[in-house]
Structure 1
Amino acid sequence: MPFLNSLSGRFLVLTVIFVMLAEILIFVPSVARYREDYLLARLERAQIASLALLADDALDADLEKELLNNAGVFNVVLRRDEMRQLMLSSPIPAPVAATYDLRDPSVLALIGDALRSILEKEDTIIRVIGAPTQDAGLLIEVTMESQPLRRAMLDFGERILVLSAMISAVTAALLFLAVRRILVAPIRKVVRHMQSYADAPEDVRRIIEPNASLTELRAAEEALQSMQQHLTAALKQKDRLAQLGGAVAKVSHDLRNILTSAQLFADSMERSDDPRIQRIAPKLVGSISRAVNLCEATLAFGRAEEPPPSLTRVTVSGLVEDVLEGERLAAEGHLCDLRAEVPPGLMLRCDPEQMYRVIGNLVRNARQAIIATGAAGAVTVRAAETEEAWFLSVEDTGPGLPAKARDNLFTPFQGGARKGGAGLGLAIASELVRGHGGRLDLTRSDDRGTVFTIRLPKTEISENSGRP
């Protein structure tokens, strides 16, 4: 049934069950207590009837019978002292089947006797012994039928069960209404908020506003609000990145055409007789070629088709020196020393163009950080190898990365290491290194400077593994 599968329905059923269990636990002691009171009342009435014998030792037989009928017993024995007994008696229809002593019974004994009295369907004769009221003797003893007691107990138990059922129904109904108002209604409200938000997650008006009075529900609403806020922000950023990607692709397309023309002009400069132009022209041609390749790679990235690295054996010293020479031209006039500590002859298996971009990005960031301080500094590129991997590190003596940059170091548009930076350089560098099956890590960044380490494994990687 749908109702029983709901929180309200199950709570209602459990409430009825628990209340009935509680009433049952109360029912048995209540019936036992009723039986004890019933028998004590018979003893008291029998004691009153026996006192008539004190006033007149020779009672009329009819009067004695009437006293016993009013007391509901067959005979009465009242022991006032060790030597004297007062007795009212009438014929007993059957032998005594059981004796119950009510002078100092235990709770378990009373409950056990009550259960036996209810289960006993045959009419038997029982003896009941108790203490006289008002200290009127040592003990009082009566004999009586068991069925009147059983009928009275059953009637009392029936009333208790009816009352228990009524209490259970009223309690369950009140709790049902309370749970629906206090718990179910707020939960349904949260569900409606979630459904509304799912229809348009970009709409900030659909983000839930916590207002529950219950601590647990308010905590759930606050957690949902935080999740929705982060998701909405992420979706907006995703849309902005998609739009930015389209714009970058368009700009890269046009820029590639412009740089192609510039490359033609640079080629003609190489034929100049000016020694300075002959020295700078190859660098210019190389830089323009790399810019063209970068534009083409940007267009491929916008199509989610970043090509895998084209692996070849490269001399590390030549690759690093090529990067440093270009950066030295950019650092002219500044106290920034760019140097390499690379073992001669060390070979590296990588994509030369992609690795040039990675090292160039790290060196450029380090150089700009030092120049921004206005003080002298140095950038050192080191290389080493083990049996398992090659290691390249870029170390500077700059001021170190800010906390925000360290927290979002390789996240596009969030991990900018310098003011005004877009935060793309390190993200692209990390992606290119991962394409080689390696890893780019921030080894250290404090007031002594910053160290980035590139680890490239020596194991071969397949063409598909080069895709990010």
Structure 2
Amino acid sequence: MLKSLSGRFLILTIAFVMLAEVLIFVPSIARYREDFLLARIERAQLASLALLADGSVDPDLEEELLQNAGVYNVVLRRDEARQLVLSSPIPMPVTKTYDLRMATPAELLNDAVMTLLETEPTVIRVIGYPTQRAGMLIEVTIPSQPLRDSMIQYGLRILVLSAVISVITAALLFLAVRYFIVTPMKRVVHQMARYANAPEDARNIIVPSNNVTELREAEEALKALETELTNALRQKERLAQLGGAVARVSHDLRNILTSAQLFADRLETVDDPTVARMAPKLVRSISRAVTLTESTLAFGKAEEPPPSLSRVSLADVVNDVLDSERLAIGDADISLSADVPAGCMIRADSEQLHRVLTNLVRNARQAIAASGKGGEIGILFTDEDACWRILVRDTGPGLPMKAREHLFKPFSGSSRRGGTGLGLAISAELLRGHGGTLKLLESTSEGTAFEIWLPKGDAEVSL
């Protein structure tokens, strides 16, 4: 029980309540001592009234009055005259005198502690004001032992009462902590264990229900974490399924494309000028498709093959991309342009760079076509000291906010209905393999711009 939160809270509550009672004990016992002495003064004053009334008192009656008052003698000061009103033999000399008329709280506390620590019986003198203004002061001599015994009994009663209050308070707090804190925490722990058994099941995600602010915030944070993890597991499962599907399709598709490549090679021998001009492009496209089917499987396994870096003519890659896209544009009012020096050589994997540029230009073309309006797509090259920058800009309608939030996440960043959202994710991964980056510079209703950044390293650009 001591290892549980509620058990430790119970022990601490009892300890703190007892500590509070101890701090209250000394002032309480000091107050009790003061009341005890004032009561003795009052009773002594009442006993002295008989003498003040008759002028003389029988010795037996005087002794009885003193015993009832619990004092040895009574001295009353009236009209500047100090008078011994009642007296009896004192068994021992007076050891201490306490003046209650001007006593400070600190003095009362100190005198109370000293009285409890005093073990030997003594005789003390107590000075105070008479009640009802019956004189200037009254002085009594009393034994100290009855005072000490009475203070000890009072203190024991306080301690017993404090213990009872501590136990009751601790029990009530124990039950409250169990109900408001421990039980909800156990419920959260139980839910976490249930979720851990089947994290892919969205029904196991916690539903915040606690009314305590802190626990409610913890439940909401746990819900967000579980939701994100479940979505990540689902995406991972989809990627695994994609990898399996690609693995089955890749083999047959590669064989079909290989056959098509063989037929395309024959077209180069045809004398028709149009066929001769288009045949090399067709051969390159089919070769690129074969390479893509072989490498797509790697993405299904959540990895891309490392780039084969070499000196590449950027102008040739860009022109090849634009030529392919012009065939897809048809009669649409979309213009393509490039501002790339003819002799620009950069260090990159030509096939992977071609895929990146194709994804960006194709996305822009599809966005402009879907808007029903014309537009422009341009590729701009900039040579900087430490890197090469390639800017792909269009005048399309811009990306929706949801697509921008998950732009480079597979299955999440598509802006087209029916799109997979893989194009930009694949492009970003390919450029990371180059040590470069792909980022969205801007996307408004007037157009979108993507920036490709490729590091130079030790390479030199040649123009």
Shorter-chain TM-score bucket reads: over 0.9
From 314, 320, 323, give the equivalent of 2:321. 323
Question: In 1, are the aligned partners of 2:395 and 2:447 still within 8 Å (CA)?
Answer: yes
From 268, 290, 293, give the equivalent of 1:292. 290
**1:227, CA displacement in angstroms?**
2.5
The equivalent residue for 1:166 is: 164
The equivalent residue for 1:183 is: 181
From 26, 46, 53, give the equivalent of 1:48. 46
Q: Map residues 70-219 of structure 1 onto 2, 5 A cutoff.
A: 70-83=68-81, 85-219=83-217
Q: Deviations over 1:84-118 (max 9, x none)?
A: 63521122233322111122432222111111111
From 350, 353, 357, give the equivalent of 2:351. 353
* 1:403 matched to 2:398: no
Question: In 2, are the aligned partners of 1:343 and 1:384 still within 8 Å (CA)?
Answer: no
The equivalent residue for 1:302 is: 300
Distance (Å, rounded) in 2 between the aligned partners of 1:416 and 1:203: 25
Question: In 1, are the aligned partners of 2:440 and 2:451 still within 8 Å (CA)?
Answer: yes
From 449, 452, 467, give the equivalent of 2:450. 452
* 1:388 matched to 2:386: yes
Q: Higher mean Cα deviation, 43-52 or 431-440?
A: 43-52
Distance (Å, rounded) in 2 between the aligned partners of 1:74 and 1:405: 100
Q: Deviations over 1:276-306 (max 9, x none)?
A: 1111111111111100000000123334563
From 18, 35, 38, give the equivalent of 2:36. 38
Residues 361 and 84 of structure 1, relative CA distance in 2, 3 Å threshold? closer
From 64, 67, 73, give the equivalent of 1:66. 64
Extract unaligned runs of 5+ from structure 2.
none
Q: Matched residues, percent identical?
A: 64
One-letter amino acid matched to 2:230: T
* 1:14 matched to 2:12: yes
Q: Deviations over 1:332-383 (max 9, x none)?
A: 3222211111123221000111111111211122222222233332211111
Q: Higher mean Cα deviation, 302-311 or 347-356?
A: 302-311
Question: In 1, are the aligned partners of 2:239 and 2:301 still within 8 Å (CA)?
Answer: no
Question: In 2, are the aligned partners of 1:327 and 1:364 still within 8 Å (CA)?
Answer: yes
Question: In 2, are the aligned partners of 1:99 and 1:126 still within 8 Å (CA)?
Answer: yes
Residues 211 and 443 of structure 1, relative CA distance in 2, 3 Å threshold? closer
Q: Higher mean Cα deviation, 231-240 or 418-427?
A: 231-240
Local SS of the residue matching 2:81: coil
TM-score by length of 1: 0.94
Question: In 2, are the aligned partners of 1:124 and 1:146 still within 8 Å (CA)?
Answer: yes
Q: Higher mean Cα deviation, 142-151 or 324-333?
A: 324-333
Q: Higher mean Cα deviation, 287-296 or 138-147?
A: 138-147
One-letter amino acid matched to 1:188: K
**1:215, CA displacement in angstroms?**
2.9
Q: Deviations over 1:47-104 (max 9, x none)?
A: 1111111233232223222221221111101123223635211222333221111224
Distance (Å, rounded) in 2 between the aligned partners of 1:248 and 1:446: 35
Distance (Å, rounded) in 2 between the aligned partners of 1:226 and 1:387: 44
The equivalent residue for 2:340 is: 342
Q: Higher mean Cα deviation, 303-312 or 156-165?
A: 303-312
Q: Higher mean Cα deviation, 284-293 or 199-208?
A: 199-208
**1:251, CA displacement in angstroms?**
1.6
**1:460, CA displacement in angstroms?**
5.3
One-letter amino acid matched to 2:22: I
**1:447, CA displacement in angstroms?**
2.1
Distance (Å, rounded) in 2 between the aligned partners of 1:433 and 1:241: 20
Local SS of the residue matching 2:101: coil
Distance (Å, rounded) in 1 between the aligned partners of 2:52 and 2:369: 125
**1:417, CA displacement in angstroms?**
3.1
Distance (Å, rounded) in 1 between the aligned partners of 2:211 and 2:374: 61
Extract unaligned runs of 5+ from structure 1.
462-468
Distance (Å, rounded) in 2 between the aligned partners of 1:163 and 1:251: 84
Question: In 2, are the aligned partners of 1:259 and 1:292 still within 8 Å (CA)?
Answer: yes
Question: In 2, are the aligned partners of 1:324 and 1:338 still within 8 Å (CA)?
Answer: yes
Local SS of the residue matching 2:127: strand
The equivalent residue for 1:379 is: 377
From 331, 345, 356, give the equivalent of 1:333. 331
Distance (Å, rounded) in 2 between the aligned partners of 1:197 and 1:5: 26
Distance (Å, rounded) in 2 between the aligned partners of 1:304 and 1:370: 31
Local SS of the residue matching 1:307: coil
* Structure 1 ranges of 4+ moved more than 3 A: 300-305
**1:247, CA displacement in angstroms?**
0.9
Root-mean-square deviation (CA, aligned residues, Å) is 1.7
Question: In 2, are the aligned partners of 1:50 and 1:86 still within 8 Å (CA)?
Answer: no
Q: Higher mean Cα deviation, 371-380 or 311-320?
A: 371-380
Aligned residues, how many? 459
Q: Map residues 425-436 of structure 1 onto 2, 5 A cutoff.
A: 425-436=423-434
Q: Deviations over 1:425-467 (max 9, x none)?
A: 1111111111100011111211221111111101159xxxxxx
**1:244, CA displacement in angstroms?**
2.2
Residues 205 and 321 of structure 1, relative CA distance in 2, 3 Å threshold? closer
Distance (Å, rounded) in 2 between the aligned partners of 1:163 and 1:375: 88
